Chain A
């Protein structure tokens, strides 16, 4: 069979999701953001919620997330996306609201906003990209930078005495009664990407079912600032980040205690 016979609309098995815009992503080659954006577009499309979904983009590399998915977006100040999402979700209880935040945005400058939004159990989805570094500003130490990890502001490696410890914020968030689903995923292989899509789908479904906050951490790479090739960065992530940031569900109330959460009262 000739190639031309195979490349035929009838034989199509994978194409770009319709909700992704035609804009070329500004991310570096091999960046995890692109994969997570694609999954978000697929999930929103699959759930058919594009007309009632509002995304909140952060400050950081994904500040321009709004350029890539065909839905309404708001661009929040650094770290404030959970507060912005709260404002939307509380006054628009029939909408689906998600934030998309990096580790500097969520776990450093926006620590108060994320903890309190999760603790109130806002009906929102939080997508948390943890690559252990500040990408946009040129590779400085993030709250989630590993001990010993070299960054622009820890040129000799992160030292606990000088720089403090890496923050497992997802573990903190899993403690909060307002969250119903807290999970840690990755997008470095076809299998983990498919698993991550399931997790994002579950998170959106929980928000639509008014189950409180759903939180999906995606342990990611920043090959540019880690100064590695994209392939090498994935290997480094598996070897170094996974032992500390263990992939898997941290909390799933639908399995354990579905009645534990008091829904938001508007």
Chain B
């Protein structure tokens, strides 16, 4: 079975820290940063990047369209 690995890029300044992407991720990749962005939001980040499969669920549920997703089939 081909292994798939992915990566997400969060636009830290656009993220409002709603946390919807965190629960949408089937791989428990994302988490909310303890740091805040310039608007005071705890933006999302890849806590366990190696687990990402690039399924795009996080980006799909993101209301602020601040997540870009990449995927590679190995």
| A–B: direct contact at CB < 8 Å | yes
Q: How far is the CA of A28 from the CA of B18 in the complex (A)?
A: 9
Count contacts between A and B, CB distance < 8 Å: 93
- From B6, B20, B62, B72, give the contact of A231 (CB < 8 A): B20
Closest Cβ–Cβ distance, residue B63 to chain A (whole Å):
3
Q: Which residue of B lies closest to A8 (CB)?
A: B70
Number of interface residues of A (CB under 8 A): 36
Rounded to whole angstroms, the CA-CA distance of A79 and B62 in the bound complex is: 28
Complex Cα distance, B49 from A105, in Å, reads 43
Which of the listed residues A8, A34, A234 has the most CB atoms from chain B within 10 Å of its own CB? A34
Taking the complex as formed, is A12 at the interface, i.e. its CB lies under 8 A from any CB of chain B?
A: yes
A32 near B63: Cβ-Cβ < 8 Å: yes
Q: Is B7 in the interface zone, CB < 8 Å from A?
A: yes
- B interface, how many residues as a size bin? 20 to 34
Chain B nearest CB, measured from A228 CB (Å):
12
A230 proximity list for chain B (CB < 8 A): 18-20
B70 touches A229 (CB 8 A): no
Q: Which residues of B49-67 have CB atoms within 8 Å of chain A's CB atoms?
A: 49, 54-57, 59-67
Task: Give chain A interface residues in 1-34, CB to chain B under 8 Å.
Answer: 1, 3, 5-8, 11-17, 20, 24-25, 27-34
Q: A1-B5, A190-B60, A231-B23 are in contact. Are A12 and B70 (CB under 8 A)?
A: yes
Report A-chain residues with C-beta under 8 Å of the C-beta of B5: 1, 6
Verify if A227 is at the interface (C-beta below 8 Å from B). no
A38 touches B9 (CB 8 A): no
Contact at A35–B61, with CB atoms within 8 Å?
yes
Residue picked from A35, A194, A234, most chain B C-beta under 10 Å: A35
Q: Is the CB of B69 within 8 A of A14?
A: yes
3 closest A-B pairs by beta carbon, nearest first, are: A34-B63, A30-B18, A29-B16
Q: Which residues of B contact A (CB under 8 A)?
A: 5-7, 9, 14, 16-20, 22-24, 41, 49, 54-57, 59-72, 74
